Amino acid sequence: MLPLLLLLLPAAHGIARLGYTPVLTTEPPLAGQKTTSTFVLDQPRCVFNNYGNADIWLVVALDGAISSFNNTDRPGSPEIAFQSFPNPARAYMTLNATLANYPCPKPAGDITVLRVGSETSCAQDETRPTCNGPLPGPGPYRVKFLALEGSVPVAETEWSAPIRLPEAKSPNTISTTGSGHSAGMIAITTILSILFAILLAGLVAMLIFWSSDSCSGSSTFSKPESVTVRRYNTHHVYDQPAARL
């Protein structure tokens, strides 16, 4: 173990500190710059031009853990696996890229941002320890880019400023009195609105029925039955003299 540390010590001291600080994307204005589990960074264009053979990693750490992060940790090792973040791992490495992914100058139409936390499929997959999975809480987090040639760190950027994500609000914490109406009043208003709609629908149905029945009665005529008048004499007619003639 001691010989290995002695070999790594010169390499660690030989890491180039690049004058670049990762920042959240601001231009052009981007919807969803920060969500409850992701944030968007500018790509490090024209930063690692002297490290064409290096793999460029993004290191994501808790704000209080940057001083203890070890640049010699190998990406994907259990100590810095995404699936162990933020406890016990206090940092992880993700979004492996090369200089070809960050060309300088930027070709027209290139996407120049990185969304941290955008992969959900590998969040629980321990075979993908460098997963760019959803961030587990509001943070704050800090990030930096680290270039490795093989397993040897050769260059790094500064750590970003703390990045705090918005927190989702519990439904129980959402006030229903801000507009001057209590929850009970809102419920009563809703019920009355439904009853009024039902009553209105019933009145419309009755009007349609009556209109249809009225039209039906005015257009249908029944043929009057023929009336037969029979002549008959009452019994007292024969008591008259003229009737005997």
| Domain locations in the chain as residue ranges | 7-166, 182-216
CA separation for the pair 140, 66 (Å, rounded): 12
SS (H, E, C) the chain: CHHHHHHHHHHHHCCEECCCCCCECCCCCCCCCECCCCEEEECCCCCCCCCCCCEEEEEEEEHHHHHHCCCCCCCCCHHHCHHHCCCCCCEEEEEEECHHHCCCCCCCCCCCEEEECCCCCCCCCCCCCCCCCCCCCCCCEEEEEEEEECCEEEEECCCCCCECCCCCCCHHHCCCCCCCCCHHHHHHHHHHHHHHHHHHHHHHHHHHHHHHHHHHHHCCCCCCCCCCCCCCCCCCHHHCHHHHC
pLDDT digits (tens, 9 = 90+) for 41-98: 999 999 999 999 999 999 999 999 999 999 999 998 999 999 999 999 999 999 999 9
What pLDDT score was predicted for residue 9? 45
Phi and psi (nearest 5°) for 203? -65, -40
Above 80 in pLDDT, residue 202?
A: yes
Q: Which of 115-129, 140-154, 210-224 has the lowest mean pLDDT?
A: 210-224
Residue 234 tokens read as 């009452």
pLDDT digits (tens, 9 = 90+) for 132-150: 999 999 999 999 999 999 9
Q: How far apart are the first and last CA of the chain?
A: 160
CA separation for the pair 79, 36 (Å, rounded): 25
Beta pairing class for 39-42 and 113-116: antiparallel
Residue 16 tokens read as 């180039």
Percent of the chain with pLDDT over 90: 56
CA separation for the pair 76, 54 (Å, rounded): 17
Q: Residue 190: name the closest of 177, 181, 202 by CA.
A: 181
Q: Check: CATH 2.60.40.10 for 7-166?
A: yes
What pLDDT score was predicted for residue 95? 96
Q: What's the mean pLDDT when you consider all of the chain?
A: 82
What pLDDT score was predicted for residue 172? 61
More confident residue, 29 or 117: 117
Q: Which of 6-10, 30-34, 220-224 has the lowest mean pLDDT?
A: 6-10
Residue 106 tokens read as 């930027």
Phi and psi (nearest 5°) for 224? -70, 145
What pLDDT score was predicted for residue 174? 53
